[in-house]
A and B are shown apart, each in its own frame.
Chain A
Amino acid sequence: MLKVEGLTCAYGKVMAVRDLTMEVRQGELVTLIGANGAGKTTTLKAISGVLPPVQGRIEFDGEDITGTSPRTVLEKGIAHCPEGRRIFPYMTVRENLEMGCFLRNDANAISEDMEGIYVRFPILYERRAQAAGTLSGGEQQMLAISRALMSRPRLILFDEPSLGLAPNLVEQTFDIVEQIRADGVTVVMVEQNALAALELCDRSYVLESGEVTLTGTGRQLLKNKKVQQAYLGG
């Protein structure tokens, strides 16, 4: 479904990703793990079109999407859930969801999707008229994920969905990610929490200073000595 070949990205003269190659198949849940600055976020940015790559080729459903605008990428069916502040704090919950379908104009289907979201996350319905900034961390994360779903993506890129959340909420977030995958959406997720990421995923890529050093199924990597030493604390 998604093919990345020889991807090289840089911020000015600083190389962030070097000759990265990865593949994601339909329906898979693939994670990218690695230390800070390993190039995980950069990879997602390159795929979503936010950061034009220096070199390499990104293919989605056999179509070349290298260096196209975020808008085009989104229209093709890839939603990006960026790291950091993931919501529009002064907009209401509902408006945040509406921003998720900014590029869609099928009003009926949109309201259907929104109802679907409200049924899945009743708390968002309760708080629909509230400014999104007043939600708790976990609710904001729910909202961010829901917003990404509002574009009806076939592939979602999650960037550190567990960052800054309390442990029980981290688990809840991962549950949601799994549900989404169960609904047939392909997922690529960047995650610092290597243990959780490996347990959850089908396959994973380990990044180190901008390069893929290891790849395999979650189970294989969990057993791998190097991974255990570097990322699993023993």
Chain B
Amino acid sequence: MNRRLIEFGVVLFFASVPFWLGNLYYLHILITTGIFIIAAMSLNLLLGYTGQLSLGHVAFFGIGAYTSALISIGFDLELTDTYTFVFEPKPVWFSFLCGIAFAAICGWLIGKISFKVRGAYFVIVTISFAEVVRLVALNWIDLTEGPMALNNIPPFTLGIPGLWELTFFKKEPNYWLVLALCVVSFVIVRRLVQSRAGRAMIALRENESLATSVGVDVTKYLVLATVISAGMAGAAGGLYTHYIRIVDPDVFLFIYTVTMVIMVITGGKGTLLGPIVGGLIFGILPEALRGLAGPEVQWVIYGILMILVVYFLPGGIVPALSNWWRQREDNQSTSSPGDAAPGTAS
């Protein structure tokens, strides 16, 4: 009950931000940070809960972005000399869902292929996958416009054309949209990791051979985690594409994956709040530093801060805080006797 109230309060606080922030540029930073937080949450599902590092996670993000962009602006493909496949533009809510679905399908394929081999091999497969997708986006100019980028992507719209439509032109509605999807993603991840499937994933991370011997189907749960994670990353990509309204092959750059990994690890991998805390800090920090120092110094400070976090809080910020909190509570309640007797356990 109390916890619910706190959660509600936090969401309400974030929802109120556009009313008092008063600076559209800051709001823009919060929107992109929110999009990255969704991506980081999806990565956390793999890295934090199953222990598999996807270093090509940006591929799913980019696939979601490109798929949603292409379906919403339409495209045509010359399949043969005489036949051209023409795809009419579709509403954005539909293209957005297609982006999620296609990213999830790619996640399923990658999962199926690479979970026969795990650990380092999964890392290599995901890196290569992201690079291959980037090259496709760069060179398949007929479809993706290559380095010229896809322009004039429509903004997010909800509703039925002709009857009632809500178009997210301005920053504020986009902010709320991103916030809403952050909440949805958070709830999905939380429900998943607290379910039987989530328990199985954690068991795999902790001790794979033991997990097998208690009857956990290793491949099944790893693939499930990859599919959900890829779908969420695709959703983040779709949000990004309809907010920025231009998408080029640079969305596949390795640095974005690294940013997600930094967010997850500094925040605390394998914790629900970790990617959010890490995402907020390392999403806002570069912009916050910009006012304080020159571009050279800015990234030096960023780097030093990151090293300090990893050095002093190796488990991440969230686990460190919750440990500190628990110790404080323990100290307060050392005198209270233990709870119920064995008979009441269930």
* A interface residue numbers (CB < 8 A to B): 48, 50, 69-71, 74-75, 80-82, 84-91, 95, 98-100, 102-103, 111, 114-115, 118-119, 122, 125-126, 128, 147, 151
B210 touches A86 (CB 8 A): yes
* Residues 185 to 216 of chain B near chain A (Cβ within 8 Å): 196, 199-200, 202-203, 206-207, 209-216
| Residues of A contacting B213 in the complex (Cβ-Cβ under 8 angstroms) | 48, 50, 70, 74, 80-82
Q: Cβ of A115: which chain B residues have Cβ within 8 Å of it?
A: 342-343, 345-346
Closest 8 CB pairs of A and B: A111-B346, A88-B206, A80-B213, A103-B215, A74-B215, A71-B215, A118-B342, A125-B342
Is B330's beta carbon under 8 Å from chain A? Answer: no
A123 → B minimal CB distance (Å): 11
Which residues on A sit within 8 Å (CB–CB) of B210?
A: 82, 85-88
Q: Is B287 an interface residue (CB 8 A)?
A: no
Residue B78 at the chain A interface, CB threshold 8 Å: no
A-B contact pairs, 8 of them (CB 8 A): A71-B217, A84-B209, A86-B210, A99-B211, A102-B196, A103-B214, A115-B345, A126-B338
Contact B196 A114 (CB under 8 A): no
How many chain-B residues does the 8 Å CB contact rule pick out? 21
Partner of B203, one of A86, A88, A122: A88
Contact of A99 with B217 in the complex, beta carbons under 8 Å: no
User: B346 to A99, Cβ gap below 8 A?
Assistant: no
The chain B residue with its CB closest to the CB of A110 is B346
B202 touches A91 (CB 8 A): yes
- The answer, among A103, A119, A151, for a CB contact under 8 Å with B342, is A119
Per the bound structure, the CA–CA distance linking A199 and B202 in Å amounts to 39
Inside 8 A of B211's CB, which chain A residues have their CB?
A: 88, 99
> Within the complex, what minimum Cβ distance (angstroms) separates B336 from chain A?
15
Report whether over half of chain B's contact residues are helix, strand or loop; otherwise say mixed.
helix
A115 CA to B346 CA, complexed, in Å: 7
Say whether B345 contacts A114, CB under 8 Å: yes
Task: Say how far B222's CB is from chain A's closest CB, in angstroms.
Answer: 15
Contact between chains at B202 and A74 (CB < 8 Å): no
The residues of B that contact A69 with a CB separation of less than 8 Å are: 217
Docked pose: A98 CA to B196 CA in angstroms: 10
Q: Which of B207, B214, B343 contacts A100 (CB 8 A)?
A: B214
Could you say which residues of chain B place their CB within 8 Å of the CB of A48? 213
Which residue on B lies nearest to A144, using beta carbons? B210
- Which of A75, A114, A122 interacts with B346 by CB under 8 Å? A114
User: Nearest-CB distance from B320 to chain A (Å)?
Assistant: 15
In the complex, given contacts A74-B213, A87-B210, A89-B207, what are 10 additional A-B residue pairs having Cβ atoms less than 8 angstroms apart? A70-B212, A74-B215, A82-B209, A84-B209, A87-B207, A98-B199, A102-B200, A114-B346, A115-B345, A125-B345
Contact between A91 and B206 (Cβ–Cβ < 8 Å)?
Answer: yes
Whether the pair B206, A50 counts as a contact (CB closer than 8 A) is no
Bound Cα distance from A82 to B343, whole angstroms: 30
Q: Is the CB of B202 within 8 A of A151?
A: no
Q: How far is the CA of A82 from the CA of B214 in the complex (A)?
A: 10
User: Which residues in B have their C-beta under 8 angstroms from that of A75?
Assistant: 215
User: Hey, which chain A residues are within 8 Å of B343, CB to CB?
Assistant: 115
Taking a contact as CB atoms closer than 8 A, the residue among B199, B200, B207 that contacts A85 in the complex is B207
- Closest B residue to A71 by CB, please name it: B215
CB-based contact A91/B203 at 8 Å: yes
Asked if B209 and A99 sit within 8 Å, CB to CB, the answer is no
Contacts of A151 in B (CB 8 A): 214-215
1/0 per residue, CB under 8 A from A, across B306-346: the answer is 00000000000000000000000000000000100011011
Contacts of B207 in A (CB 8 A): 85, 87-89
B83 to chain A, nearest CB (A): 47
Residue of B nearest to A84 (CB): B209
Chain B residues with Cβ below 8 Å from A100 are: 214
A119–B346 CA distance with the chains assembled, in angstroms: 12
Q: Which residues of B contact A71 (CB under 8 A)?
A: 215-217
B200:A88 contact, CB within 8 angstroms = no
CB–CB A99/B203 < 8 A: yes
* Cα distance A88–B343 in the bound complex, in angstroms: 25
CA distance A99 to B216 in the complex (A): 9
Instruction: Report the bound CA distance from A48 to B196 in whole Å.
Output: 22
Write the chain A residue with the least CB distance to B220.
A71
Known: A115-B345, A118-B345. A90 touches B206 (CB 8 A): yes
Chain A residue nearest to B344 (CB atoms) is A115
Q: How far, in whole Å, are A102 and B207 apart by their CA atoms in the complex?
A: 15
The CA of A50 and the CA of B216, in the complex, are separated in Å by 11
> Which chain B residue lies CB-closest to A112?
B346
Check B199–A99 contact: CB distance below 8 A. Answer: yes
Contacts of B203 in A (CB 8 A): 88, 91, 99, 102
Considering the complex, give the chain B residue whose CB is closest to the CB of A126: B338
Q: Kindly state the separation between the CA atoms of A113 and B216 in the bound complex, as whole angstroms.
A: 20
* Chain A residues near B200 (CB-CB < 8 A): 102
CA distance A99 to B202 in the complex (A): 10
Q: Report the bound CA distance from A19 to B209 in whole Å.
A: 25
Using known A-B contacts A87-B207, A88-B207, A90-B206, determine if residue A99 contacts B214 with beta carbons closer than 8 Å: yes
- Bound together, the chains give a CA A111 to CA B200 distance in angstroms of 19
Contacts of A103 in B (CB 8 A): 214-215
**B149: min CB distance to chain A, Å:** 45
| A198 and B63 alpha carbons, distance in the complex (Å) | 62
Q: How far is the CB of A116 from chain B (nearest CB, A)?
A: 10
The digit string for B111-141, where 1 denotes a CB below 8 A from any CB of A, is 0000000000000000000000000000000
